[in-house]
Chains A and B, each alone.
Chain A
Amino acid sequence: MLPRPVFFARPILARAYASPSSPHALLFLDHRKGVIDPGSLSALTAASQLGGQVTGLVVGSNDHVTSVLDKAKSLKGLTSLLHSTSDVYSEPLPETISPLLEKILSGSQYTHVVSTPSSLAKSLLPRVAARLDVPAVSEITSLEHDAASNSTTFTRPIYAGNAIATVRLPSAVPIKFFTVRGTSFDAAPLEEGKEVPIQAVDPVDVSDSPTQHLSTNLAKSDRPDLSVASRVVSGGRPLKNAETFEATLYPLADVLGAAVGASRAAVDAGYADNSLQVGQTGKVVAPELYMAFGISGAIQHLAGMKDSKLIVAVNKDPDAPIFQVADVGLVADLYEVVPQLVEKLKQ
């Protein structure tokens, strides 16, 4: 692929190249009302693996940005922070943030743009990438940057996790966009006493935005967040209705300190909120313990949980595909099993 002239040029340009070829990632630090999205911490770890500088970008209203910066400044792996503050950003929309990112990235030293695959980032990053005429790579599970050729190689699941693709963005792509699957990278820890330089960027005025935010409805939950919980108790179709779903699974989740998940069948039937859906089209989780009750184990569901450390399945059907991946299986009626489990775990 690389033509000869590169070889000719190499001895002369080697020095000149040395600094620009050093990767510099811009990490879109997603947050909700000032609380950093845990996935952003995994994205930071991935960004650090590129082997160069990592600049975090925080966009939001004044209050939110202040509280994010307060924590972010001591994150391990970050080398600097940018922030842009405007009331317009308090309800973030791709249409209003995209121009800001374009401004930051055009003619900049950034070689990569990294983010967690949050719903905001998934809506925003491809928009920005297209405007800069570059492709984007979604939900990578590993990466390797070759500074010499300025190419980055990623692995990512395709076909609902039934195959793993190894793809490379060549040097011809000046800014490489990717999102990071949180379950594949540890969260970057805080470093005591560290404080990185912080710089403000003026917001870009988008007075004629075609899109306006009207309202947000968040499902309330006292339980750990599904995507980062170390234990997950998940239920499927046999749970009959929303009341039964709650009455059956919540006591067990509480005993274990677990988050509650659901199969698509349970979500579609209205037993559980959409935000609890585990699978290809829902959340991808990789907890220490995943307990599946009344879930048959369709490939779309397995795609969302098969990287869990210990999988426990309880199902009446001995031939349910879930048993092929479960470390511990029990063929039984979940209505008999769950109350006994609660009882015996309490002892």
Chain B
Amino acid sequence: MRPSPSRLLNILVPVKRAVDYAVKIRVNSSQTGVDLNVKHSMNPFDEIAVEEAIRLREKHSPSTISSIQAITIGPPKSIDTLRTALAMGADSAVHVELPESSSSSDAASSSSPEPLGVAKTLKAWIDKQQQKGEGGGGKPVDLVILGKQSIDDDLGQTGQMLAGLLGWGQATYASKIELDVEKKEAKVMREIDGGSEEVRVKLPMIVTTDLRLNEPRYASLPNIMKAKKKPVEKLKPSDLGVDLTPIMETLKVTEPPKRVGGGKVESVDELVEKLKEHGFTAV
């Protein structure tokens, strides 16, 4: 299948610009979404994905990994997220640009693309790289590392959907990746309910990152400066022949029911009394 067994690996890291995890979000008054005039940053799981790509290259030096490319699908401001990835160590970036939502304070979550659309876009990009091949300036993708979920829509589907569309192997919720470049495979430790599981997956493959995989680095100032010079390719969904119109209809977005604290007690005795009042005793 592969043109030559000695070919170096290309890694693709899809990243998403999301409301910063520390922001206390507010539902907008028209109940169409949340107020997006707040601090945004790279989805935390995607930071872990970028970090892992860089670590894999550092570990497998001298460069068996020929490229690390970050890709995002989003409005013009998503460029910031790509710059972060470049500053962390990605070589180049791709921005599939979506139009800015009509009103930024009113941008409903329904207007952001769904995992299925994102997966189709990523597949289209990967197919294109494959067709162009090494010689034609393409970067045939061997490994895609994604976050396990984005912290805005909390859907957690894109990696699996992409793996399905491509027919590739997948290792979700990865907490450890050991790449065997010679054998073109990876051993991945996965977090599962109640423990962990180890799988061996043939390249090309999809990995989604668990929190435990690594601790992302901070981009240094010199690297932030350098990142500004790294290439960013811009294109539109139509260039890839994909339609990102959401299929799922968001009818409304509301505040969750408020939970009101019941106040404090002064002593352990009072605490035990409260517990007993509610029927909680020793078993």
Contact = CB atoms under 8 A, between A and B. Distances in A.
A299 B24 contact: yes
Interface stretch (B127-135, B217-225, B270-278): B270-278
B66 to A, nearest CB: 22
A269 interface: no
B109 A165 contact: yes
A154 B249 CA distance: 10
Nearest to B170: A94
Contacts of B278: 289, 310
A216 interface: yes
Interface residues of B, number: 79
Contacts of A329: 261-265
B199 A214 contact: yes
Interface stretch (B54-62, B69-77, B114-122): B114-122
A25 interface: no
B147 to A, nearest CB: 11
Contacts of B191: 119, 274
B4 to A, nearest CB: 20
Interface string B10-34: 0000000001010011010000001
Contacts of A327: 261-262
A324 B198 CA distance: 41
A216 B169 contact: no
B103 interface: no
Contact of B187 (A164, A214, A289, A331): A214
Nearest to A336: B268
Given A98-B164, A131-B164, A135-B248, A255 B259 contact: no
Nearest to B117: A135
Given A165-B253, A327-B261, A341 B268 contact: yes
Interface centre among A163, A325, A344 (most CB of B within 10 A): A163
Contacts of A86: none
A212 B7 CA distance: 24
A78 to B, nearest CB: 23
Given A127-B161, A162-B256, A173-B247, A255 B261 contact: no
B55 to A, nearest CB: 18
B252 interface: yes
B154 A95 contact: no
Q: Tell me the interface secondary structure of chain B in the complex.
A: mixed
Interface stretch (A10-18, A136-144, A192-200): A136-144
B195 A219 contact: yes
Interface in A295-331: 299-300, 306, 310-312, 314, 318, 323-331
A210 B253 CA distance: 40
A241 interface: no
B268 A330 contact: yes
A56 B12 CA distance: 38
Contacts of B200: 211-212, 214
Contacts of B165: 130-131
A330 B271 contact: yes
A126 B168 contact: no
A272 to B, nearest CB: 13
A137 to B, nearest CB: 7
A35 B282 CA distance: 28
Contact of B160 (A123, A218, A325): A123
B169 A122 contact: no
A264 B248 contact: no
Given A330-B264, A330-B265, A138 B160 contact: no
Contacts of A159: 19, 25, 34, 151-152, 154
Nearest to A314: B271
B160 A172 contact: no
A162 B161 contact: no
Interface string B187-206: 10011111111111110010
Contact of A158 (B154, B171, B265): B154
Nearest to A177: B157
Contact of B109 (A130, A158, A213, A216): A158
B145 to A, nearest CB: 16
Nearest to A255: B282
Nearest to B148: A281
A264 to B, nearest CB: 7
Given A126-B164, A159-B19, A289 B271 contact: no
Nearest to B191: A274
B212 interface: yes
Given A123-B173, A344-B268, A344-B272, 15 more contacts: A119-B190, A159-B19, A159-B152, A160-B151, A167-B251, A211-B171, A212-B201, A214-B187, A215-B197, A216-B196, A274-B212, A289-B275, A306-B259, A328-B264, A340-B268
Interface of B: 19, 21, 24-25, 27, 34, 109, 114-116, 119, 151-158, 160-165, 168-173, 175, 187, 190-202, 205, 211-212, 247-256, 259, 261-272, 274-275, 278, 280-283
Interface of A: 32, 37, 93-95, 98, 118-120, 122-131, 133-139, 153, 156-170, 172-173, 209-219, 225, 227, 231, 255-257, 264, 268, 273-275, 280-281, 288-289, 299-300, 306, 310-312, 314, 318, 323-332, 336-337, 340-341, 344-346
16 contacts: A119-B172, A133-B116, A158-B154, A159-B34, A162-B34, A164-B255, A165-B109, A167-B248, A210-B205, A214-B200, A216-B192, A216-B198, A217-B196, A280-B151, A300-B21, A324-B259
